[in-house]
Amino acid sequence: MSGKQYVAGLRAVEQLLATGATDVRRIFAEYRSVNPRVKAAIEQAREQGIEVQSANRARLGQMSGETRHQGIVAEIRRATLLDEAGLRTLVEARLADASKQPLLLLLLDGVQDPHNLGACMRTADAAAVDAVVVPRHGAARLGPTVSKVAAGAAERLPYAAVPSLPRVLAWLADYGVARIGTGEKAEYSLYDTDLRRPLALVVGSEQTGLSGSVESRCDRLVSLPMHGTVSSLNVSVATGVCLYEALRQRNPAKAPGA
């Protein structure tokens, strides 16, 4: 499953070109731009055999939406988009590969803000997550804002938009994948939970947390200790803490101070 989408902004486009991404179909840019970084990106795209088209600011704005395009937009075809069947195939392949770290999935239950989705994907890529899974409806979608915040991770990290998160959680249990959800009033602490197993970390939306149907499919709910006056963290910050605790447990020799 793949689809044509746009990535806007200098840093995001530079990141795509630096990795030699084969899914960049064409570059749209302001030829009259005096920004040397735009000119360098145009030249780099041409060296890689990528088509470059001139576009005025109005057209760039139409493609980039609310994201600041800075004079350049890349049209890409995402090879990492998965449907539910593709997600199952990925899970089966990862569980069968004993040479790698245990499977690690990030399930986002109704995250609404594309900035939060982008930040979660950026951290997920850094923490060796195998795929990000979101509901097909009622959540932020991939787009220019997500790509810009994710700084290249949105184009590399497998991403599955599925009809039903509870159904995915049900068949993950059949594969022996631990399903750990997050919640402010959870009985267990993140730091008292074994995250070294094949794992699906489930994080809820910004306002309401996990939905009841998703929460009921989790094997355990965990929380982060809060010692200040605020009662909760931003969803992308909490996701980062949880993923890096999983990474620390899986790679104790690389942990700080080890």
The model scores a pTM over 0.85: no
The pLDDT value given to residue 26: 92
pLDDT digits (tens, 9 = 90+) for 8-60: 888 888 888 887 655 788 999 987 778 899 999 999 999 988 999 999 988 99
Tell me the DSSP string of 61-73: HHHHTTS--TTEE
Closest CA to 86 of 162, 181, 198, 175: 162
What is the pLDDT, as a whole number, of residue 2? 45
Residues 24, 147: Cα–Cα separation, whole Å? 13
| CATH 3.30.1330.30 domain locations along the chain | 4-77
Contact criterion met (CB below 8 Å) for 82 and 158: yes
CATH 3.40.1280.10 boundaries in the chain: 81-254
Topology of domain 4-77, CATH:
60s Ribosomal Protein L30; Chain: A; (3.30.1330)
Fold of 81-254: Alpha/beta knot (3.40.1280)
